[in-house]
Structure 1
Amino acid sequence: MLFDTHTHINAEEFKEDFDDVLERADDAGVTNMIVVGFDEQTIQDAVKIIETYDYIYGAVGWHPVDAIDMTDDHLRWIEELSQHPKVVAIGEMGLDYHWDKSPADVQKDVFRKQIRLAKKVNMPIIIHNREATDDIVQILQEENAEDVGGIMHCYSADLETAKTCLDMNFYISFGGPVTFKNAKLPKEVAKEIPLNRLLVETDCPFLSPHPYRGKRNEPARVKLVAEQIAALKGISYEEIVQITSDNAKQLFSLK
């Protein structure tokens, strides 16, 4: 019953062996996943996937790295797609100060517009944060993002920030980095997050967990993330699978 809450199986990296990837996910016990579209092409591909596979749901939004490319027409398109019966979240959205393609002020504007859209259509949001924690929190607070809540995707900030996000109605999702041997902070934070606000993900094809670090990631490896979280929490693997799957279904309003 594993639920991978963040995949990019719509990426080019999966074109050659897409069916095999899904089969390995099934063998690993992955019964649901979210495929995230974050620009024009990946949104189109995400919609094709969710219309083909019953157990895969979609999120549509605009990535901060590409914020400079987003037009008002794109925003209207995302709003239209939010009415698709299998689109369950808006995102990923947020801020990314690692790359310099889109200026910070443009990223912030696009971020705010997407939060406001999510509130308009009453859907949770998926937050991408890279080297921008303080600004992300400030914008979420200023835009009253707690009205819809959502996911702090592939969480990497500290515990204090996590508590602030929990107070704003967000779930904390962990991916491959929580399994890395030198990843003290994600492990420390994961131990403290309440069970009812925990999620697991792969962010595939990125951030493959140990012992596959540096290789292409895929949904089947969310099992390794769940095993690590279970060990950190001192509960059984079966419990963490059930809990994180139930959390995802509640967040995304799935039966």
Structure 2
Amino acid sequence: MTPKLVDSHCHLDFEDFADDRAELLQRAREAGVGSILIAAVRQPDWGRVRALAEAEAEIWGAAGVHPNEPVAETPSYRDLLAALDHEKIVAVGETGLDYFRSEGDLAWQQERLALHVAAGRETGKPIIIHTREAAADTLALLRSENARDCGAVIHCFTESLDFARQAMDLGFYISFSGIVTFKNARDLQEVAKFIPLDRLLIETDAPYLAPVPMRGKRNEPGFVAYVARFLADLRGEDLDTLATVTSQNFRRLFHLPEPECAYAS
């Protein structure tokens, strides 16, 4: 039987997929992908994410605002809670801190992240964390705001082994994207060997970061199979085991039931 994989983070709502979304979902099924989570990056996209999640039994959504969206795009707490009040919206995000793309006084990013953590704690839904060149501040804020209470995943992980250890000490999961397959990602590959299987997630971050051998192409959920196979080989694990456990981790983190079938027809 084909292993049932999970793409724990993608942006299937983007216009990049408007013309062939149905076809790529079929390709995902054929690649063994049984669940997909779409992470919103802007408040105007929340409705589209929700509609896509409602349309397919094994598509789930997250509501949040990306750290690189302008300060004026920070949602109200009331609006965020309202968006999270839906059975198919299972996480808060993506959110976080990104000091690489944004400049100046970035206290507003920290305030936005704190708002998302508060929403996660109130709803009991975990947080999807984006962090770039903000490692120390990200960990400090997640500690101070008690993100442990709702749980989190560090998505598209590119940080150090020490960061991974500290995140896992808070009970968080670590998710690897196609970046881990890149030839110049040797340090990241060493980190990937260390992560306990019961804390590991896999993702595409589609349409970005297509894994080898699809690097340079538009990424899509079915390509998570390449990430899974690479990690299984890297870690010396059976692919079926890695697929099974990462899928279990996905359901555990996002409080999801065991799937009855891959997708609604």
Same fold by TM-score greater than 0.5 = yes
State the partner residue of 1:58: 61
Q: Which residue of 2 aligns with 1:31?
A: 34
- Counterpart pick for 2:109 among 95, 99, 107: 107
Structure 1's consecutive aligned runs of 4 or more residues displaced over 3 angstroms after TM superposition are none
Q: Pick the aligned partner of 1:221 from 193, 204, 223.
A: 223
1:13 maps to what in 2? 16
Q: Is the 8 A contact 2:95 2:129 kept in 1?
A: yes
Q: 1:81 to 1:72 in 2, by over 3 A?
A: closer
| 1:196 is the counterpart of 2:198 | yes
C-alpha separation between the residues in 1 aligned to 2:144 and 2:74? Answer: 23
In the alignment, is the contact (CA less than 8 A) between 1:67 and 1:106 conserved in 2? no
Q: Does 1:68 align with 2:51?
A: no
How do 1:68-217 and structure 2 match up within 5 A? 68-71=71-74, 73=76, 75-100=77-102, 103-217=105-219
One-letter code aligned to 2:247 = S
For the 8 Å contact 1:67–1:107, the answer to whether it is kept is: no
2: CA distance, partners of 1:147 / 1:201: 24
Counterpart for residue 47 of structure 1: 50
Matched residue SS, 1:51: helix
Give the CA deviation at 1:186.
1.5
**What does the per-residue CA deviation read over 1:5-48, in whole Å, with 9 as the maximum and x for residues that have no partner?**
00100011001111111011011000101011121232121011
Mapped contact 1:37–1:44 kept (Cα < 8 A): no
Task: Name the CA shift for 1:123/1:234 in 2 (closer, same or farther; >3 Å).
Answer: same
Q: Deviations over 1:64-104 (max 9, x none)?
A: 0015123454x322201212011111011101112127841
Distance in structure 2 (CA, Å) of the matches to 1:123 and 1:47: 15
TM-score by length of 2: 0.93
Q: SS at 1:69's partner residue?
A: helix
Unaligned runs of 5+ in 2: 258-265
Paired positions, count: 254
Q: Report if the CA contact (8 A) 2:46-2:83 is conserved.
A: no
Report sequence identity in percent: 40
TM-score of the superposed pair, with normalisation by structure 1: 0.96
Distance 1:67 1:203 in 2: 21
CA distance in 2, matches of 1:218, 1:152: 20
Asked whether the equivalents of residues 112 and 143 of structure 1 are also in contact (C-alpha less than 8 Å), the reply is yes
User: How far does the alpha carbon of each residue in 1:226-254 deviate from its partner, in whole angstroms, 9 at most, with x for none?
Assistant: 00111121111111000100110111111
Deviation per CA, 1:182-208, whole angstroms, max 9, x where unpaired? 111211011000010000000000011
Amino acid of the structure 2 residue aligned with 1:208: A
Q: In structure 2, how many angstroms separate the alpha carbons of the residues matched to 1:135 and 1:236?
A: 36
* Structure 1: unaligned runs, 5 residues or longer: none
